[in-house]
């Protein structure tokens, strides 16, 4: 049995009436990775925030290396050897790599000598995360997301942690970068550090974790060695019941062509895309990160610059502008939920309805009750877990925010839905609900473009799949005619690049 690094007993935490953690107990061992698993809103992030000093417990005790641990804030957590890697990067983008690493560390001051020792320390930690060639004076925001994340890990290492907490670190990373991250986690584990790792991808959990702990509705409902439990047993623990179908199919029939995209080109991407979308169809778009999939959706929606080409809906040409797109029935779910999706400080009601208040306006007044009823109805439809419709969206768990974002475009009565990574950060049970929802929407005659980096879901849900590479839509075929390997082969295709290479590799094949 390995040594205990962390022991948590009976920790509870409430936010107002929401009981985020209810008598949680768990353990993490030195030199092991503990996967923290649970549905959206189960309390995973809250637990890590408590450990990293961002929140205080209401009740319960924590011990690190057998010593009582109750951090007064992030600084005191770091001093006690606990480092946290947030899902959304938590660095100062305009500063240099070395400044980011040294920021907030004790003993950082002026003086040439000190600067030189600091440089050495920065180089050491950058080497440890494999960034051997990165210039410490480089400005952070010029680096790729994956590199920035490694810098964040380097910063964590500079504090010489005992325990490192990862909250969904891979949700924005392409597969090659995920593997690189795993190599680093393996090294950290080998050096005796304890790691807690949150992910909604059970394949990942199986690859990287030694043990698991499952939270459901804020309670610990199971823990053990990952080798001793099957995926379906984990899912049953998470959801509290058996999930029979991870990919429910809803029968839907495909109708007449509805959207014609012709030679659509943007600033750099997309390039000359031709695509016809039919009524009642779910069309998947696969491709590498950087292949231009999001840009295709954004140009179609009039959000990104269109240099050439046209979009026609129901036989009418559409102006390349967001207003015109919305009027024509297009709805876009942006991949960047935090910055482009929802207003974090506004309520669920406001977020759901702000795009179309007209149904609730009468003689210049807003019928607040009708608006609330509609919001409740949509929340129920997509099963948002929240204290009330008045709760600010920023207080919801990641997955529940995503559901609100989807409900919003449904509320706008969009019937051509452009969904960019709609299941990012969503738990397995809820993913199944979202697939079913997409099937129902298609059955009702809506058309859906579904961009995803998770190939199994595209193969299971879509009627046709198109593959993008280097800004171009390379091939569109019925899903039954594709194999995962054939999609990959086209996605990594051998055509010369017009400009900078997109980040290599396919996400989570």
Q: CB under 5 to 8 A by kind: which of Mg ion, ligand ATP, none does 172 bind?
A: none
**Residue 8 vs 311, nearer CB to ligand ATP:** 8
The residues in 367-386 that bind ligand ATP, with binding defined as CB under 6 A, are 385
**Least CB distance to ligand ATP at residue 217 (A):** 9
**Is the CB of 42 or the CB of 462 nearer to Mg ion?**
42
Q: Is 40 in the site for ligand ATP (CB under 6 A)?
A: yes
Q: What is the CA radius of gyration of the chain?
A: 24
Q: Which does 148 bind (CB under 5 to 8 A by kind): Mg ion, ligand ATP, none?
A: none
Q: What is the largest CA-CA distance in the chain?
A: 73
Does position 449 interact with ligand ATP (CB under 6 A)? The reply is: no
Residue 123 contact among Mg ion, ligand ATP, none, beta carbon within 5 to 8 Å by kind: none
- Output the smallest distance, CB 21 to ligand ATP, in A: 8
Look at phi and psi of residue 289 and say left if phi exceeds 0, alpha if psi is from -120 to 50, else beta: beta
Work out the number of other CB atoms within 10 angstroms of the CB of residue 440.
Answer: 14
Closest separation between CB of residue 46 and Mg ion, Å?
8
- Quick one: which segment of 131-139, 174-182, 206-214, 390-398 binds Mg ion (CB under 5 A)? 390-398
Residue 37 CB, nearest distance to ligand ATP (Å)? Answer: 9
404's CB contacts (< 8 A; 6+ apart) are 342, 348, 351, 352, 379, 382, 384, 393, 396
Q: Which does 20 bind (CB under 5 to 8 A by kind): Mg ion, ligand ATP, none?
A: ligand ATP
Crossing angle of helices 398-411 and 368-381, rounded to 10°: 120
- Residue 45 sits in the site that holds Mg ion (CB under 5 A): yes
Residue 168 Cβ, how far from ligand ATP at the closest point, in Å? 7
Which structure tokens are listed for 462? 């879509």
Give the Cα separation of 321 and 302 in Å (integer): 4
Minimum distance, C-beta of residue 25 to ligand ATP, in the bound complex (Å): 16
Choose the one of Mg ion, ligand ATP, none that binds residue 396, judging by a C-beta under 5 to 8 angstroms depending on kind.
ligand ATP
**What is the SS3 assignment for 365-404?**
EECHHHHHHHHHHHHHHCCCCCCCCCCEHHHCCHHHHHHH
42 binds, among Mg ion, ligand ATP, none (CB under 5 to 8 A by kind): ligand ATP
Part of the chain binding Mg ion (CB under 5 A), chosen from 43-51, 217-225, 406-414, 478-486: 43-51
Count of residues that bind Mg ion according to CB under 5 A: 2
Closest alpha carbon to 282 in 417, 404, 381 = 417
Token duo for residue 19 = 């009981």
CB atoms within 10 A of CB 423: 23
Q: Which stretch binds Mg ion (CB under 5 A): 12-20, 72-80, 261-269, 392-400?
A: 392-400
Write down the H helix ranges in 220-269: 231-239
Q: Work out whether the CA dihedral 395, 397, 401, 403 comes out positive or negative.
A: negative
| Tokens encoding 249 | 């199919």
* 8-state DSSP, 417: E
Binding segment toward ligand ATP, per CB under 6 A, in 1-9, 42-50, 234-242, 471-479: 42-50
Count of residues near ligand ATP by CB under 6 A: 18
Residue 38 interacts with ligand ATP (CB under 6 A): yes or no: yes
How near is the Cβ of 127 to Mg ion at its closest, in Å? 31
Beta strands in 270-413 (DSSP E): 273-278, 282-287, 308-313, 316-318, 330-333, 361-362, 365-366
Q: Does 395 bind ligand ATP (CB under 6 A)?
A: yes
Site for ligand ATP in 397-416 (CB under 6 A): 397-399
Contacts with Mg ion by CB under 5 A lie at: 45, 398
Question: Contact residues for ligand ATP (CB under 6 A)?
Answer: 15, 18, 20, 38, 40-46, 385, 395-399, 427
């Amino acid at each position: 049995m390995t040594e205990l690094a962390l022991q948590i007993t009976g920790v509870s935490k409430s936010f107002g009436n929401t009981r985020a953690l209810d008598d949680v107990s768990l353990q993490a061992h030195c030199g092991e990775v503990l996967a923290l698993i649970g549905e959206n809103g189960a309390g995973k992030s809250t637990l890590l925030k408590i450990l990293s000093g961002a929140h205080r417990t209401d009740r319960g005790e924590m011990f690190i290396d057998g010593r009582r641990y109750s951090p007064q804030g992030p600084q005191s957590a770091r001093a006690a050897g606990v480092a946290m890697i947030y899902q959304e990067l938590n660095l100062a983008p305009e500063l240099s790599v070395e400044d980011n690493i040294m920021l907030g560390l004790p003993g950082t001051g002026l003086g040439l000598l000190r600067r030189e020792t600091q440089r050495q320390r920065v180089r050491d930690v950058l080497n440890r995360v494999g960034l051997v060639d990165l210039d410490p004076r480089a400005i952070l925001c010029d680096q790729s997301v994956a590199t920035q994340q490694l810098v964040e890990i380097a910063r964590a290492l500079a504090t010489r942690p005992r325990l490192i907490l990862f909250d969904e670190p891979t949700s924005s990373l392409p597969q090659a970068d995920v593997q690189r991250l795993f190599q680093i986690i393996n090294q950290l584990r080998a050096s005796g550090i304890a790691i807690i790792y949150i992910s909604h991808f059970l394949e990942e959990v199986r690859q990287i974790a030694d043990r698991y702990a499952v939270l459901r509705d804020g309670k610990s409902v199971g823990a053990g060695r990952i080798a001793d439990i099957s995926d379906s047993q984990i899912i049953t623990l998470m959801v509290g019941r058996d999930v029979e179908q991870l990919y429910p199919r809803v029968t839907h029939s495909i109708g007449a062509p509805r959207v014609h995209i012709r030679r659509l080109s943007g600033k750099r991407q997309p390039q000359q895309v031709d695509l016809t979308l039919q009524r009642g169809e779910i069309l998947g778009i696969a491709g590498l990160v950087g292949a231009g999939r999001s840009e295709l959706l954004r140009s179609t929606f009039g959000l990104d610059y269109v240099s050439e080409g046209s979009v026609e809906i129901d036989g009418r040409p559409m102006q390349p502008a967001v207003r015109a797109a919305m009027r024509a029935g297009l709805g876009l779910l942006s991949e960047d939920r935090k910055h482009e999706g929802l207003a974090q400080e506004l309520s669920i009601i406001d977020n759901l309805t702000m795009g179309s208040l007209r149904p609730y306006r009468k003689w210049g007044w807003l019928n607040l009750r009708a608006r609330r009823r509609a919001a409740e109805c949509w929340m129920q439809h997509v099963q948002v877990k929240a204290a009330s419709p008045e709760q600010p969206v920023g207080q919801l768990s990641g997955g529940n925010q995503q559901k609100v974002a989807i409900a919003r475009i449904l509320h706008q009565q969009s019937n051509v839905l452009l969904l960019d990574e709609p299941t990012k950060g969503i738990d397995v049970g809820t993913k199944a609900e979202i697939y079913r929802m997409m099937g129902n929407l298609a059955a009702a005659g809506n058309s859906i473009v579904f961009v995803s980096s998770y190939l199994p879901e595209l193969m299971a849900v879509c009627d046709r799949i198109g593959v993008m590479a280097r800004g171009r839509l390379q091939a569109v075929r019925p899903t039954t005619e594709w194999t995962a390997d054939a999609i990959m082969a086209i996605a990594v295709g051998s055509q010369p690049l017009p400009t900078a290479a997109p980040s290599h590799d396919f996400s989570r094949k």
